[in-house]
């Protein structure tokens, strides 16, 4: 099976649930510079204690030249892949250790996404849009609060749609977090949501219910998820930056029961 075929099969494989095994999805590491400073193996050991069958590492990906902060350096990527590959081999037969990266989409890095997608060591590219390109060599984090309040949602959704249309990304992280600066649901957010959901369905991209978003005001929108048809696959991601934040798929139901 080729790399593209293996990665395109991700959504089907992800949802093969068993009676005894959880899937722990969306795990970061110390390399991103805003996660707990512990070895990667600490997450694997905790996942084993949870009786998880799979753990998916998706640390914040670097970019060539290191233009952005709060992520591993470009020079650290080979070590990240080597370390997780070694853990996969060490724990084979006990838990399946998967290697991925969470990364934003910027059109100017098209060749880099292709390179990552074709890397046989990387199983998953998780599209996580924390910022967006707003003009040549200008990014949304350079805008004023007033500009971000007015336009950030539009910029982030546009980037997510562009990214999904490339075919390089199998999962979209916290899609509704694009609306984090909004205080109430509007017809504009509904239109943006419709565009995003359509792109996900057309490109066979899984949408992530993000547990971290569920614990932050205006990061998780029930109105968005009510628009997602059942035929569009979803997954629960813990977005763990600490070992204590690891959680499996059943945690979503627990969060709903607690109330968002």
* Centroid of chain to Cα 174: 7
* Centroid of chain to Cα 109: 18
Q: How many DSSP H helices and E strands does the chain contain?
A: 10, 9
Structural contact between residues 58 and 126, judged by C-beta atoms closer than 8 angstroms: yes
User: Average pLDDT, whole number, for the chain?
Assistant: 92
β-bridge pairing 124-127 and 96-103: parallel
3-state helix, strand, coil in the chain (%, to 5): 45, 15, 35
Read off the tokens for 247: 């959680």
Annotated domain spans of the chain: 3-251
pLDDT at 19: 37
Q: Indicate whether 20 pLDDT > 60.
A: no
Q: In 33-91, which ranges are E strands?
A: 52-60
CA distance 146 to 61: 29
* Centroid of chain to Cα 127: 5
The pLDDT confidence band at residue 2, using thresholds 50, 70 and 90, is very low
N residues, the chain: 260
The pLDDT confidence band at residue 195, using thresholds 50, 70 and 90, is very high
How far is the CA of 59 from the CAs of 76, 94, 158, 177, 231, in angstroms? Answer: 11, 22, 23, 18, 28
CA distance 37 to 44: 15
H or E, element range at 166: helix 145-166
Read off the tokens for 49: 């204690």
**For the segment 76-132, what is each residue's pLDDT rounded down to a tens digit?**
999 999 999 999 999 999 999 999 999 999 999 999 999 999 999 999 999 999 999
pLDDT at 249: 80
Looking at domain 3-251, its CATH class is alpha beta
CA distance 210 to 225: 12
DSSP-derived secondary structure letter, 137: T
**Dihedral of the alpha carbons of 204, 10, 210, 64, in degrees to the nearest 10:** -90
């Amino acid at each position: 099976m080729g790399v593209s075929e293996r990665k395109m099969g991700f959504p089907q494989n992800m949802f093969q649930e068993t009676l005894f095994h959880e899937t722990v999805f969306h795990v970061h590491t110390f390399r991103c510079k805003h996660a707990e400073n512990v070895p990667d193996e600490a997450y694997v050991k905790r996942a084993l204690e949870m009786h998880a069958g799979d753990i998916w590492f998706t640390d914040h990906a670097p970019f060539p030249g290191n233009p952005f902060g709060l992520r591993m350096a470009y020079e650290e990527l080979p070590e990240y892949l080597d370390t997780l590959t070694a853990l996969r081999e060490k724990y084979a037969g006990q838990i399946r250790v998967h290697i991925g990266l969470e990364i934003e989409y910027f059109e100017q890095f098209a060749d880099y996404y292709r390179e990552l997608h074709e890397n046989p060591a990387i199983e998953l590219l998780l599209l996580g849009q924390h910022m967006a390109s707003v003009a040549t060599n200008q990014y949304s984090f350079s805008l004023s609060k007033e500009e971000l309040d007015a336009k950030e949602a539009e910029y982030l959704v546009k980037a997510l749609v562009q990214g999904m249309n490339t075919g390089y990304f199998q999962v979209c992280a916290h899609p509704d977090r694009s609306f984090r600066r909004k205080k109430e649901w509007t017809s504009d957010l509904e239109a943006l949501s419709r565009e995003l959901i359509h792109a996900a369905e057309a490109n066979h991209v899984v949408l992530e219910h993000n547990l971290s978003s569920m614990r932050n005001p205006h990061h998780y929108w029930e109105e968005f998820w009510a628009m997602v048809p059942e035929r569009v696959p979803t997954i629960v991601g813990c977005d763990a930056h600490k070992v204590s934040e690891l959680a499996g798929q059943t945690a979503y139901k627990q969060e709903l029961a607690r109330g968002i």
